[in-house]
Structure 1
Amino acid sequence: MSTLRTRAELQRLARLLDVPGERLHALAAVGHGPLAQLRERATAMLYDADREHLQRIAAATRLLPAAIAALIAEKSLGPLLCARIAGLLPADTALDIARRLPDAFLADLCLELDPRRARAVVERMPIERCVAVSLELARRGEYVTMGRFVDILGLDALLATVARLTDDAVLLKVAFYAEDRTRLDRVIERLPEARFGGIIDAALDGGGELWPEALSLIAELEPRWRRKFGELALSRAEASIRQIVQLSDAHQLWPALLPVADSIDEPEAVRRLHAALLVQDIALLERMAAAARHSPMYARLAELDWPAPLRAVIVAPA
C-alpha cells in the first residue's frame, strides 16, 4: 500500500510541476511522506513567488467590471496567472468573474490551481459549473487534478458530478488521487447500489489493471464499506475470485487484501474465498500466510478446513 501511496504522490507532484510522471520515478525511493512534504513546499514556493506583484493585479481586478475582468483573464492573463490570483480576490469577485469564463478555460485554470488556496471560491461555485468543468477534466484524463478537488468541493457538488461520471473506471481513477478518505466515505454512503458492483467490475476489467488502485482505496474505507466491497467481489464467478487472489499476490497487496477479507461476515463469501485459495500454488499460500501471520485474519485462516499439506503451510510456526 505504501508503494501505491508513493505512486499517487509522485503523480500529484508531476501535475504540480507540469512534467511527465516518469521523470520523477527516481524519487519513489524516498516514500510518500517526504514526497508530500516536497509537494507542499513546492506549492508554497510557486504561490509565494511574485506575491506582491500578484496582489497588485488582484487589487486592480477588483476595480474592473466583472465582464471586462473575465475578458482580460481569458485573453491576456491566462490560466496560470488566474490560478495564482484566484485566492487573492474576494470570493464574490472571483465567482462573478468565473461565471463569465468558458468551461474549457476554467478547466485549464484548475490544472494550475491549488484548490485549498481558493477554498472560499471553490466551495461556493455553482453546482452546475462544477459538474461541467469536472466533465471537461475527465474528458482530458486529468484525474490527478480532479482527485485534489474531491477534498474541497461540497458534498452536493461531488454527488452531482459522480452521477454524471457514468464510467466507473474514471470514478475509480479520480478517487485514487483524493487525499481525504473521510470525504470518500461520505460520497460512497450516497452511491446508488449499482455503482458498487460497477467499481469492482472496472477494477478487474482489462486484466485487472486498476485492481491495485481499487484495493488500496477499499482497504482504507470504513469497515462497513470494506465489508460491502469485499462481499461483492466474492459474489463474482470463481474465475474472477481466483483473479483477485492472483492479482493481489502479483502486486504484493496482501496487507491491503487481508483487512478487507477479515471484515467479511457472510459465510458464503468466506467459503468462496477459501475455494479460490485451495487451488493456488504453495508459493502463493506461503506469501499470504507470511503477510497474515501478525494480522487478525490469521486466526480465521487457521480455522478453515485445509488439506494437511496446505495446513502445514498456512499454520506454520513463524
Structure 2
Amino acid sequence: MSDLVTRAQIVLLARTLHVPAERLAHFEKLGAARLHELQQRIARRIFDEHATTFRRLAMLVPVIPLSISLPLVQRVVPPTMAGRAAGAVGVQHPKKAAEALGMLDVSYAADCVPYVDPRTVGALADVAPPGPVVAITNELLRRGDYVTAGPFLAYATPALIRAVEAGVHDDEGMIRSAAYAYSGANISAIIRHMLHGPAQRIPRLTAAVLSGSAELRSTALSVYARCDEDVIAALGDVTFDVGSPEQNADFVRVAVEAGAVRELLTFTGHLGPSALDTLAANPVTGDHAVMSALVAEVAERPEPATLRGLVNLLERTDAETTRRWGRRLFESDDPVLAELPAIVTEARLWPALLRILAEIDAETQTRLGEVWAKLPAAERDMLERRVRELRLDTRLATLTVTMNIYG
C-alpha cells in the first residue's frame, strides 16, 4: 500500500477515535494494513460495548409503528446514538430497517451514518431501497464527507452500484470516497461494473479527474493502483484516450510531485499496448525529473509491480531514452543487481529487460555480467538460453562472456 492509502487510514482511525488526524500522524509508520486492522478492531470494540443495550431497544421495533417512532426519534435522539442503535435494529429487523431508511429525513440520516456499525450494513445491503441510499450518498458527498462514504463501498450490491451510477453525479466525490475504501477487490468490482454498465460512467469520471486539481489526480491514482490488473488496463485505455497529451503529461508529473511514484509505476505496469505506446510517445518521458524519479524508485527498492511499469515503459520509448535510463537502472548497487534476476523472473519480464539491456553499452554489460556471474549455474544457463531465443547473442555477447569468465 502507498503513503496515500496510509494517510487515508489515519483519517479513518481519527474519525473512529474522535480526535484530530494530526494527533495520530506518528502512526503512519505502522503502514496501511496495520492501521486498517487497528481501526477495525477499535470500531468493533466500541460497537460491541453497547450491543446489549441496543438489542433491548430493538425489541421495541415490532411494538411501536415506524410512523409514530421515527418522527419522535428524529426530534429527540442525537444522531450519534441513533446511528449506533441502527445497527442492532438492522440485524434483528432488516425489513423494518429498510422501510425506516425511506422514511427518515435525508439530512438526519446522513448525520447518523458515521456512527452505524459497518458490519450491519452487509445485512441490509440486499434489502435496502436504492432511492434513499442514493439520496443519503448525495448528501454525504455534498457535505464533502468522503471519510464516511468510502468504507461503505465494501457492501455495495450490484443493484446499489447501478443505482449510484445512475443517481450520484458527483464524479470527484466518488473518487475521493473510493480513496477511503481499503479493499482493492471491492473498488475493482465497482469500477468493473461501471466500465461495462449502460451509463458508461468511467469516461466522464476520467475526464473530471484529468481536468481536476493535482490532489484529485493523485487521489485517483491511489485508487487505480489498487485495482485488479484487468481494471487497471481498462482505466488506462480510457485515461490515455480521453486525456490530451498535456493532460496525460500532467497526470504523470503530479504523481511524481505527490510522491506517488510507486502507484504510477504499478498503474503503468498493467497498461495495455495502446496506452503504453501513447505514454511512451508523450513528451513527459523526456522530462529528466520524471524519469529520474521512476528509475530511482525501482533502483532503490525493486519489486515486481514497479519494475514491470518501468521496463514496459522503457521498452517502448525512443532508443536514446531507453539507453539513457536503462543504463541508469543498471547502475544500481550490486546487492540490487544481484536480486534483480529473481524479481524479473517473478514479473515475467526477461524478454523486455534483455531487449533494453541490448541497447546498453559494453561497460554496463560487463559490470552486470560480473554481478550475475555469482548466480547459480542453472539460472545463468536459463539467462543465456533466453538470450539465444531472442536472437540477441551478438548484442549481449559482452554480458554472457563476462558471466562465463567470472562464473
Identify the residue that residue 385 of structure 2 maps to in structure 1.
none
**Is residue 292 of structure 2 the alignment partner of residue 289 of structure 1?**
no
Q: CA deviation at 1:199?
A: 2.9
- What do the CA deviations read for 1:234-271 (whole angstroms, capped 9, x no partner)? 34333223212222222222222223223233347425
Q: How does 1:254-265 map to 2 (within 5 A)?
A: 254-265=261-272
Identity, in percent, stands at 24
Identify the residue that residue 91 of structure 1 maps to in structure 2.
94
Q: Distance in 2 between matches of 1:35 and 1:265?
A: 33
Partner SS for 1:88: helix
Identify the residue that residue 57 of structure 2 maps to in structure 1.
57
**Is residue 78 of structure 2 the alignment partner of residue 82 of structure 1?**
no
Structure 1 segments of 4+ aligned residues over 4 angstroms from their partners: 308-311
Identify the residue that residue 238 of structure 2 maps to in structure 1.
232
Identify the residue that residue 129 of structure 1 maps to in structure 2.
132
- State TM-score, norm by structure 1: 0.87
- Aligned residue identity for 1:195: R
Q: CA deviation at 1:173?
A: 0.9
Question: Which one is further off, 253-262 or 17-26?
Answer: 17-26
Unaligned runs of 5+ in 1: none
Judge conservation of contact 2:280–2:313 (CA < 8 Å) in 1. Answer: no
Unaligned runs of 5+ in 2: 338-407
Alpha carbons of structure 1 residues 278 and 10: separation in structure 2 relative to 1, 3 Å: closer
Alpha carbons of structure 1 residues 242 and 87: separation in structure 2 relative to 1, 3 Å: closer
Q: Distance in 2 between matches of 1:315 and 1:150?
A: 42
- Aligned residue identity for 2:203: G
- Aligned residue identity for 2:287: Q
Identify the residue that residue 171 of structure 2 maps to in structure 1.
168
Q: CA deviation at 1:123?
A: 3.3
Q: 1:216 aligns with which of 215, 222, 226?
A: 222
Q: Distance in 1 between matches of 2:170 and 2:310?
A: 36
Q: CA deviation at 1:126?
A: 0.8
Q: Distance in 2 between matches of 1:126 and 1:26?
A: 41
- Aligned residue identity for 1:186: A
Identify the residue that residue 319 of structure 2 maps to in structure 1.
306
Identify the residue that residue 39 of structure 1 maps to in structure 2.
39
Partner SS for 1:151: helix
Judge conservation of contact 2:165–2:199 (CA < 8 Å) in 1. Answer: no
- State TM-score, norm by structure 2: 0.70
Identify the residue that residue 258 of structure 2 maps to in structure 1.
251
Judge conservation of contact 1:123–1:152 (CA < 8 Å) in 2. Answer: no
Q: CA deviation at 1:309?
A: 4.6
Alpha carbons of structure 1 residues 74 and 226: separation in structure 2 relative to 1, 3 Å: same
Q: CA deviation at 1:141?
A: 1.2
Alpha carbons of structure 1 residues 70 and 310: separation in structure 2 relative to 1, 3 Å: closer
The number of aligned residues is: 317
Judge conservation of contact 1:285–1:313 (CA < 8 Å) in 2. Answer: no
Q: Distance in 1 between matches of 2:119 and 2:9?
A: 17
Question: Which one is further off, 198-207 or 120-129?
Answer: 198-207
- What do the CA deviations read for 1:40-84 (whole angstroms, capped 9, x no partner)? 232123212243333322223432222222133212223222222
Q: CA deviation at 1:146?
A: 1.2
Alpha carbons of structure 1 residues 274 and 194: separation in structure 2 relative to 1, 3 Å: same
Q: Distance in 2 between matches of 1:194 and 1:186?
A: 15
Q: Distance in 2 between matches of 1:239 and 1:278?
A: 12
Judge conservation of contact 2:146–2:180 (CA < 8 Å) in 1. Answer: yes
**Is residue 44 of structure 2 the alignment partner of residue 29 of structure 1?**
no
Identify the residue that residue 110 of structure 1 maps to in structure 2.
113
Alpha carbons of structure 1 residues 123 and 10: separation in structure 2 relative to 1, 3 Å: farther
Partner SS for 2:211: helix
Q: Distance in 2 between matches of 1:13 and 1:217?
A: 19
Q: Distance in 1 between matches of 2:285 and 2:154?
A: 42
Q: Distance in 2 between matches of 1:278 and 1:44?
A: 47
- What do the CA deviations read for 1:287-314 (whole angstroms, capped 9, x no partner)? 3123345422344345343325555335
Q: CA deviation at 1:5?
A: 1.5
Q: Distance in 1 between matches of 2:37 and 2:129?
A: 32
- Aligned residue identity for 1:35: L
Bigger relative CO (Cα 8 Å, ≥ 6 apart): 1
Alpha carbons of structure 1 residues 193 and 50: separation in structure 2 relative to 1, 3 Å: closer
- Superposed CA RMSD: 2.6
Q: 2:148 aligns with which of 120, 145, 148?
A: 145
Q: Distance in 2 between matches of 1:229 and 1:27?
A: 32
Judge conservation of contact 1:127–1:157 (CA < 8 Å) in 2. Answer: yes
- Aligned residue identity for 1:263: H
